[in-house]
A = this chain, B = another copy of it.
Amino acid sequence: MLSAACKESIRAMIYIAHAGGDKKIIPVKEVAEKLETSFYFLAKNVQKLVKAGLLFSYKGPKGGVKLAKSPEEIKLIDIVEAIDGLEFFETCLLGFKECSDEHPCAIHHKWADKRKAIYKLFSETSLKDVVEDMEKNCLQIIF
């Protein structure tokens, strides 16, 4: 459902919020090392997050990125939208071109329920929620 790029971007945002929040600048290189992933791949996705207004970036020595807003203002759905887009939440599950609220396919309404529930979860969950939860429970295992 979420692309590999999107999952990694969310994990990156969690690390940035955890390590620097909207105050400290963190080099992308450091994020890639902590996530044990490719710097190149991560850097490309970070560029999208910058363009989407979720991160500020700074070039040069001591450069890097930091959150462009406070962690409670950044919702998971913002990251999903920036990387994957919202198509998932807008199209017929079975791919019927004619499917719509007026001419719903057999599972249109039931699927809409599930889809909306997921959208709600992503819209209501902020980086702050995620980071606080993980700092309590499991962040030391992961980073």
Contact = CB atoms under 8 A, between A and B. Distances in A.
B95 A107 contact: no
Prevailing SS type, chain A contact patch: helix
Copies in the complex: 2
Interface string A74-105: 00100000000000100001111010000111
B118 A114 contact: yes
Contacts of A118: 114
Contacts of A114: 114, 117-118, 121
A130 B106 contact: yes
A133 interface: yes
A96 B2 contact: no
Interface string A7-19: 1101100100000
A33 interface: no
9 contacts: A1-B88, A8-B95, A14-B94, A76-B107, A98-B142, A103-B141, A104-B138, A106-B134, A106-B137
